Amino acid sequence: MPATDDLRIHFDTDLTVINATIALFVLAIGVAPLFWAPFSERIGRSDCVLMGMRRWVYISSMGFYTVFTIICGVANSLPLFFVFRVLQGIAASAGMAVGGGTVADLFWPAERGRAMSIFMLGTIIGPAFSPLIGGYVAQYLGWRWIFYICTILGGVIFIANVVLLRETLYRPTEEKPKSRIEYLKFNPFTSLKLLLRPEVLLVCLPISTAFGWFYFLVTILPSTYRDVYGFDTGSIGLLYLAGGVGNCSGSVIAGLISDRIYAYQLKRNKTAAEGRLVPLYFGIPFLIAGFLIYGWFIHGQLHWFAPLVGYMFSTLGSMYTITTGTTYLVESYLEVSASVVSVSNFTRNLLAMLFSILSVQIRDGMGDNWA
């Protein structure tokens, strides 16, 4: 994100086009899990045990990610960069798609809220804190080194997956597949049918809207602080620390509260999954207050730190609601946990794509206060 202006200058284009590469990357992260998740839930045979394909999804996706990222780093034309950014997003999305299912495989219901918060924390530590590193890498080493460093990390994780990772999905009661081709067959769009269930749709809509506005702030932050406060690339990276604190706090708090409420309801013999939704309402005031503070403080040109308080509140509320809603979906659909998480991920990233690609037009047309 902090290097968007560097990319604009290198490829001799405008900010809207560069934001479109971000939007397509986000869209790829949303659509690809519809393929990764059902594939991970297919049943194969290993050592005479019926087991899933989660391990191979982690391994293959990280291998592809490493290859696609290095190509982004050496790209000299905008079309090549566009294409492999999308492919990079497809590969990067596997962990988010399958991770929720892995949590369901490994943890009992009483532990699942905290485990889900740790998983969600892992998915946002990168977006929350990497702009801090990326800003200074872009400023002192050039934007290509952002992709070179990601390639190195991808290669290390790929090797670790091959050596250390074990399959978590075991279903000994499943019927044996007649052939290897049979268990590789799946319809990636059956996951979307889950959106026809009211409880899934009504949970996905609010958390997707919150995530969309979060991505609007993330996308517009560099140009806003460059225009209003005159920040350079490295300094803009530091601003994302406020969002990182908010995201991490929201995820951790959501997990702790969710498990406490579940334990309380369990003592009262109430074990319905809908109990996981009770804490959801606590995050809404942080969302509303955060967006209002950020927009109007920027409009009033208060000290640069003041809008960051709103940014932190909005990210706290956003991640709090996402973690709480995702925990409920996993709890309600254990058999297809990876698929239901991928559907939630799809709706979130669809709105994130729309808001990020329209961010410049929204800000220019409405101003920071009303946007």
Judged against a pLDDT cut of 50, whether residue 47 lies above it is answered with no
φ/ψ of residue 25, rounded to 5: -60, -45
Query: Quick one: pLDDT at residue 299?
Result: 82
Instruction: Tell me 49's DSSP state.
Output: E
Query: Quick one: pLDDT at residue 44?
Result: 45
Judged against a pLDDT cut of 80, whether residue 182 lies above it is answered with no
Residue whose entry in the numeric block shows the structure tokens 């971000």: 22
Identify the weakest region by mean pLDDT among 113-127, 203-217, 231-245, 278-292. 113-127
| Mean predicted lDDT score pLDDT of the chain | 79
3-state SS assignment for residue 268: coil
Judged against a pLDDT cut of 80, whether residue 311 lies above it is answered with yes
Query: Quick one: pLDDT at residue 160?
Result: 92
Bridge partner list, 49: 46
Query: Quick one: pLDDT at residue 41?
Result: 66
pTM of the model: 0.70
Average pLDDT on 73-92 reads: 88
Judged against a pLDDT cut of 90, whether residue 208 lies above it is answered with no
Three-state SS letters, 164-227? HCCCCCECCCCCCCCCHHHHHCCCHHHHHHHHHCHHHHHHHHHHHHHHHHHHHHHHHHHHHHHH
Instruction: Tell me 274's DSSP state.
Output: G
Query: Quick one: pLDDT at residue 142?
Result: 85
